[in-house]
């Protein structure tokens, strides 16, 4: 399998895990710094995905879920 496709799958899995951690820590007001750290990590994963998709002539667009 193409290493790029493996990395895409890893990044999506990482995004899923980070989102769960953000949701978990948002439940505790004292954990705002943890939320911020996970959001920064999420942005790193998203940027890497954007770069990969850009090389495939695909644009990644994110939306916020309410």
Inter-residue contact 43 to 60 (CB < 8 Å): no
pLDDT over threshold 90, residue 65: no
Confidence bin at 50 (pLDDT 50/70/90): very high
Domain limits, the chain: 3-55
For residue 23, give Cα distances in angstroms to 12, 34, 37, 42, 57.
17, 11, 13, 13, 32
Q: What is the model's pTM?
A: 0.85
Q: Which residues, including other chains, have CB under 8 Å from residue 32's CB and lie 6 or more apart?
A: 25
Give the model confidence (pLDDT) of 1-29 as tens digits. Answer: 899 999 999 999 999 999 999 999 999 98
């Amino acid at each position: 399998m193409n290493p790029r496709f493996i990395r895409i799958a890893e990044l999506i899995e990482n995004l899923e895990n980070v989102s769960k951690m953000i949701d978990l820590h948002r439940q505790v007001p004292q954990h705002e710094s943890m939320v911020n750290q996970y959001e920064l990590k999420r942005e790193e994963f998203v940027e890497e995905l954007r770069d990969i998709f850009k090389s495939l002539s695909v644009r990644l667009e994110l939306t916020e879920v309410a």
